[in-house]
Each structure stands twice: as structure tokens, then as C-alpha cells.
Amino acid sequence: MGWGTDFKARVYISRKHVEDRSDAEMLLADARTDIAYAEKRLISLVSMTPTREEWERYSDMATGIIVDVEDILGEYRDAVILETKLQLYIDSLDEQVEV
């Protein structure tokens, strides 16, 4: 490889195709929105008073709450991972040296 050699690569971050900085920033904004939404959903679950139907067992009610929390935490984790990767990508674009 000689001096002045340039190349292009396709960038995929968490199964999302990122073409340029604007795509990364748009996806980053979406990830941050998803994080905020997951946080609000967790807060709403914490603040609600659980109720059960007469026919429902307490263990079923608890299992339902646990499943809901695990789903929200999974979505939160995925959004945080995506946010971190996109931010690292944007930071790497900022650090590139023009020759």
C-alpha cells in the first residue's frame, strides 16, 4: 500500500448500516430516545400498585411483572450498547487526520 491510498468500507453497527456521520447521528438520537422511553417505562412500573384478578395467583402476578421488567431492561441494554458504539464511531470520525 502506498501513500495516498484511500479506501471505503461499509460500516454496520449493531446490524444497522451506517453510511456517514449524519446517519450515525440520526441513529444516535433514536437510541437516546429509546433509552429515555425505557427509563420512563421502568419508573411507571415502579410507581404503579400491582393489582390482580380474583382468579389470578400472586405468583402469576409477580411473574408477569418480572417478565415486563426483563423486557424493558433488555431493550434498555440494547439501546445503550448501540448508543455507545455509535458514539465511538462518531468520535473516530472526529479523530481522523486529513493528509
Q: What's the grid cell of residue 84?
A: 455507545
The whole-number pLDDT of residue 1 equals 47
The whole-number pLDDT of residue 70 equals 96
Indicate whether 72 pLDDT > 90: yes
Distances (CA, A) of 15 to 27, 42, 68, 98: 12, 26, 25, 29
Q: For the chain, which residues make up each domain, given as ranges?
A: 11-95
| Confidence category of residue 34, pLDDT binned at 50, 70, 90 | very high
The residue-averaged pLDDT of 19-35 equals: 91
- Is the separation of the CB atoms in 76 and 33 below 8 Å? no
